[in-house]
């Protein structure tokens, strides 16, 4: 049988590049945003109309300052975020590409509003807001126009949050004037807080509170209730109650400190502005001060015993990157305190169990055939085992290293993040389709390629085994097996070499059964001898491959809609016709193969964009269960916080369409009528956090629970540590967790 390496290494160039693209994307993709839009001055989604604007009433001659900015016009009830988002959210990011001699300054943030929700609060903008940025034209600039390109990222939220992005372009003439947007820029700059010297103002951190004393505030603010906005995230509890008072021109306040803050600045940059301003858009123009800190910051609150110090620190940092806040992390109860050695043991055991997860079943077919082929050749069997192990371990190390690098760069991603990208899923669908067609006997590599290329697998079985290990990691990485969850959660908090040791041991655990079998003669003696039966087995094993294709197409449909799945099916049909035609002889091969190749290329251009274009997310809606009155509600951090503040018990299912274990649990334990009846009787609220698409809020919530992938099941109740259950969920485990509340 032509091996996997032959498929990857020997297919004609277009398919070879496509096959390798699938594996490369698994290591390089960071997941697509919910909206990814093309260049232009205006980008519109269902939640936001974003427009790149310019204001240059005197032109853009050398030495001048030109204003540009992104205007966000929000749909009612939606908002985006300030530089400090508060308890959750992400600040809008503007990344400029400008010609030499032109440089961009910082965003001149308008005064934000406060959006309270339960015990939490966010800082940001609703209605229409313009984020102005000054461009400085250097004296030596000699161009006739300034070509401005902007890549913007923003998180827009209501009860649910959607990460969006857009590419914008604009041309500003040097000699002409651009004053059409003057009113918008004047209003935005007027809404920015005015700078005021600190003077006699000061802040003093105390036991759980920040004592604020601001002197000589402007007349327009005196006697009015103010809102307090620190520019540094994570210092205070934005949603907690606090007190304030006026003494003439001096304003004092007692603001709750965050028990898990990351910083202890010697000077605090802050904004104060009138509280609860009417209308929409920016808040009422406030005052910005850099106030000295008097006294020492109190020690950070003790961490829960169930979470190791290094892990908790990293969880807070990751949550800060993903949500814009290093707010208080929940207490998490996952059993005994996990150590590095326990994490390494859990990684090894989790890797072993990973072989039993449904994600990996298709690759087992390839290994079964490899074992039977080498049953009489002990040397080849051992080389194959070592090569497969090397492929698995190195792939886990590469994937783990990339994950750590992206985390350190501030990306809010987690384990299995690559399947949040439709392009990666499409590449895997093509790869598994080719493997399935080969196993089914539709084509043989030797019939579609010159004999010299087709014999590569025979000459390089070790490479074949290595690439099979790479493929195993490609399909296994979305799964989080039992014992792996805590180890992966700890890995993102440890120094790089310790974290990579955990990833490497997961790979070693996964490869260990095959490595042991390749070196244990008793296994080889137990295997049946090669014979005609292998052809039947080979054809039968094509069906697990096609089952994987069906699953991946379903996942793609969840992300891109029916159009994306149908487009990929058309391309697969043309691909199957092509590989069949290339196995023919004579003119039939030339005519049919050429026609199939032309059809494949035409379809790639005509319908290919539908495959990677994310569909607009459906409005979040509750999904009824088999028990009347009990339904799965869409998760958001605000919804969870509001329910907990009401004294409700909350069960959260962190899931994704590409997670097979999630779907199994959803259709077994989480569909058990008796369990659902118990949950309804205890008035437990069911929330479902769908991570099929990239969602920084869900990533942050997973990080606070000490996890970086799905499935995760968490039981929350106000005043009690959160309970994180195992990945393969049972009815008894859920009932036991409920009994501990």
Model confidence over 247-257: pLDDT tens digits?
888 999 999 98
Same-domain pairing of 188 and 275: no
End residue of a domain, out of 544, 579, 612: 612
H-only helix segments in 355-421: 361-373, 378-408
Scan for tokens 């390749």, then name that residue: 518
Would the CA dihedral through 448, 449, 455, 458 be positive or negative? negative
- Report the pLDDT value the prediction gives residue 230, as an integer from 0 to 100: 93
pTM for this model (two decimals): 0.44
- Answer yes or no: are the C-beta atoms of 499 and 402 closer than 8 Å: no
Note whether residue 323 is domain-resident: no
Which residues fall within 8 angstroms of residue 655, CB to CB, at 6 or more apart? 662, 663, 666, 688, 689, 690, 691, 710, 711
CA 435 – CA 288 distance, rounded (Å): 62
Please, what's the b/e burial string for 63-101 (b: 16 or more CB within 10 A of its CB; e: otherwise)? eeebbbbbbbebeeebbbbbbbbbbbbbbbebebebeee
- Answer yes or no: are the C-beta atoms of 446 and 454 closer than 8 Å: yes
Same-domain pairing of 183 and 236: no
Same-domain pairing of 132 and 181: yes
- Report the pLDDT value the prediction gives residue 722, as an integer from 0 to 100: 83
Note whether residue 734 is domain-resident: yes
Closest CA to 420 of 690, 100, 187: 690
- Summarised one tens digit per residue, pLDDT across range 520-564 is 766 555 655 555 666 776 777 778 778 878 878 887 887 787 888
Same-domain pairing of 681 and 727: yes
- Measured torsion, CA atoms of residues 299, 302, 308, 312, in degrees rounded to the nearest 10: -60
Scan for tokens 């000054």, then name that residue: 134
Note whether residue 705 is domain-resident: no
Closest CA to 666 of 642, 705, 692, 643: 692
Provide the residue range defining the domain that includes 529.
Answer: 4-31+333-612
- Answer yes or no: are the C-beta atoms of 365 and 439 closer than 8 Å: yes
Which residues, in sequence order, are bridge partners of residue 113? 124
Note whether residue 328 is domain-resident: no
Rg of the chain over CA atoms, in angstroms? Answer: 29
Same-domain pairing of 536 and 627: no
Same-domain pairing of 274 and 130: no
Q: Can you give the CATH number for the domain in which 77 is found?
A: 2.60.40.10
What does the block give as tokens for 202?
């000061």
- Answer yes or no: are the C-beta atoms of 506 and 347 closer than 8 Å: yes
CA 168 – CA 725 distance, rounded (Å): 45
Closest CA to 662 of 423, 357, 346: 357
| Residues of the chain falling short of pLDDT 70 | 1-40, 118, 159-160, 176-179, 260, 262, 300-343, 354-378, 403-420, 444-461, 471-472, 474-496, 521-534, 537, 614-621, 658, 660, 708
Note whether residue 216 is domain-resident: yes
On the 0-12 / 13-18 / 19+ scale of CB atoms within 10 A, 262 is: middle
Same-domain pairing of 363 and 501: yes
Q: What is the DSSP letter of 411?
A: -
- Summarised one tens digit per residue, pLDDT across range 148-175 is 999 998 988 876 678 888 899 988 888 7
Note whether residue 181 is domain-resident: yes
CA 429 – CA 435 distance, rounded (Å): 10
Same-domain pairing of 535 and 574: yes
Same-domain pairing of 123 and 22: no
Note whether residue 213 is domain-resident: yes
Q: Can you give the CATH number for the domain in which 725 is found?
A: 3.40.30.10
- Answer yes or no: are the C-beta atoms of 101 and 64 closer than 8 Å: no
Same-domain pairing of 344 and 368: yes
Phi, psi at 164, each rounded to 5°: -130, 160
Q: Please count the CA atoms within 13 angstroms of the CA of 310 that sit on its side-chain side.
A: 15
Residues in the chain, total: 741
Task: Identify the three-state secondary structure at position 101.
Answer: coil
For residue 711, whether the previous peptide bond is cis, meaning omega lies within 30 degrees of 0, is: yes
Phi, psi at 623, each rounded to 5°: -120, 120
Phi, psi at 606, each rounded to 5°: -75, -45
What is the tally of structural domains in the chain? 4
Note whether residue 699 is domain-resident: no
Same-domain pairing of 563 and 629: no
Same-domain pairing of 395 and 495: yes
End residue of a domain, out of 158, 192, 226: 192
From the CB of residue 302, how many other CB atoms can be counted at a distance below 10 Å? Answer: 8
CA 430 – CA 410 distance, rounded (Å): 32
Q: What is the DSSP letter of 219?
A: G
From the CB of residue 256, how many other CB atoms can be counted at a distance below 10 Å? Answer: 15
- Answer yes or no: are the C-beta atoms of 112 and 10 closer than 8 Å: no
Would the CA dihedral through 697, 698, 701, 707 be positive or negative? negative
From the CB of residue 641, how many other CB atoms can be counted at a distance below 10 Å? Answer: 21
- Sheet of strand 161-173, all strands in order from the earlier edge strand to the far edge: 35-37, 161-173, 145-157, 93-97
Which residues fall within 8 angstroms of residue 656, CB to CB, at 6 or more apart? 416, 419, 420, 478, 662, 690, 691, 692, 710
Which residues, in sequence order, are bridge partners of residue 255? 210
Which residues fall within 8 angstroms of residue 520, CB to CB, at 6 or more apart? none
CA 213 – CA 251 distance, rounded (Å): 6
End residue of a domain, out of 144, 169, 192: 192
């Amino acid at each position: 049988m032509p091996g996997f390496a032959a498929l990857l290494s020997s297919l004609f160039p277009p398919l070879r590049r496509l096959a390798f693209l699938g594996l490369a994307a698994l290591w390089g993709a960071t997941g697509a945003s919910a909206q990814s839009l093309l260049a232009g001055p205006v980008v519109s989604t269902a939640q936001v109309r974003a427009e790149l604007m310019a204001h240059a009433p005197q032109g853009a001659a050398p030495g001048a300052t030109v204003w540009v900015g992104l205007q966000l016009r929000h749909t009612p009830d939606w908002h985006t975020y300030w530089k400090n988002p508060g308890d959750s959210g992400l600040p809008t990011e503007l990344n400029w590409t400008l010609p030499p001699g032109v440089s961009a300054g910082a965003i001149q943030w308008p005064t934000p509003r406060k959006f309270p929700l339960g015990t939490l609060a966010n800082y940001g903008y609703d209605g229409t807001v313009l984020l102005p940025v000054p461009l400085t034209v250097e004296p030596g600039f000699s161009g006739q126009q300034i070509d401005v390109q902007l890549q913007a990222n923003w998180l827009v939220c209501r009860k649910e949050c959607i990460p969006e992005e857009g590419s914008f372009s604009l041309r500003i003439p040097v000699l002409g004037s651009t004053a059409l947007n003057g009113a918008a820029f004047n209003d935005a700059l007027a809404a920015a807080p005015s700078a005021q010297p600190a003077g006699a103002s000061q802040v003093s951190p105390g036991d759980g509170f920040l004592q604020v004393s601001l002197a000589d505030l402007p007349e327009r603010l005196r006697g009015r209730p103010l809102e307090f906005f620190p520019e540094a995230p994570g210092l205070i509890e934005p949603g907690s109650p606090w007190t304030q008072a006026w003494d003439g021109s001096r304003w004092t306040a007692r603001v709750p400190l965050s028990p898990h803050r990351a910083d202890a600045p010697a000077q605090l940059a802050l904004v104060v502005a009138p509280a609860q301003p009417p209308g929409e858009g920016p808040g009422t123009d406030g005052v910005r001060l850099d106030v000295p800190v008097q006294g020492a910051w109190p020690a950070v609150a003790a961490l829960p015993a169930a979470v190791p110090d290094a892990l908790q620190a990293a969880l807070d940092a990751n949550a800060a990157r993903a949500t814009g806040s290093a707010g208080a992390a929940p207490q998490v109860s996952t059993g005994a305190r996990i150590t590095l050695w326990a994490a390494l043991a859990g990684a090894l055991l989790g890797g072993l169990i990973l072989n039993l997860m449904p994600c990996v079943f298709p690759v087992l077919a390839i290994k079964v055939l490899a074992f039977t082929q080498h049953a009489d050749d002990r040397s080849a069997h051992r080389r194959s085992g070592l090569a497969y192990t090397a492929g698995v371990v190195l792939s886990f190390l590469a994937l783990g290293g990339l994950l750590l690098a992206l985390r350190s760069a501030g990306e809010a991603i987690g384990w299995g993040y690559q399947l949040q990208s439709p392009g990666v899923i499409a590449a895997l669908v093509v790869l598994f389709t080719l493997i399935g067609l080969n196993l089914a006997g539709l084509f043989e590599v030797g019939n579609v390629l010159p004999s010299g290329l087709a014999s590569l697998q025979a000459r390089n079985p070790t490479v074949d085994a290595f690439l099979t290990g790479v493929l195993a990691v490609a399909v296994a990485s979305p799964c989080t097996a039992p014992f792996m969850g805590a180890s992966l959660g700890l890995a993102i908090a440890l120094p790089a070499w310790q974290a990579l040791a955990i990833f490497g041991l997961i790979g070693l655990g996964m490869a260990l059964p095959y490595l042991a079998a390749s070196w244990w003669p008793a296994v080889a003696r137990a295997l049946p001898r090669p014979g005609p039966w292998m052809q039947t087995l080979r054809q039968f094993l094509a069906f697990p491959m096609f089952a994987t294709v069906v699953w991946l197409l379903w996942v793609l449909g969840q992300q891109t809609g029916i159009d994306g799945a149908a487009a990929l099916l058309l391309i697969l049909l043309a691909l199957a016709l092509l590989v069949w035609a290339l196995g023919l002889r004579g003119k039939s091969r030339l005519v049919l193969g050429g026609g199939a190749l032309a059809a494949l290329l035409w379809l790639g251009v005509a319908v290919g964009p539908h495959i990677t274009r994310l569909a607009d997310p459906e409005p979040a809606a509750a999904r009824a269960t088999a028990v009347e009155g009990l339904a799965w509600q869409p998760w958001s951090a605000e919804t969870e916080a509001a329910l907990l503040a009401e004294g409700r018990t909350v069960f959260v299912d962190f899931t994704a369409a590409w997670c097979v274990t999630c779907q199994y649990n959803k259709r077994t334990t989480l569909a058990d009528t008796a369990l659902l009846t118990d949950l309804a009787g205890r008035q437990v609220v069911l929330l479902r956090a769908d991570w099929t698409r990239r969602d920084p809020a869900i990533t942050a919530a997973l990080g606070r629970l000490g996890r970086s992938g799905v499935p995760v099941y968490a039981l929350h109740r106000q005043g009690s540590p959160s309970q994180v259950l195992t990945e393969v969920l049972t009815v008894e485990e859920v009932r036991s967790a409920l009994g501990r509340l």
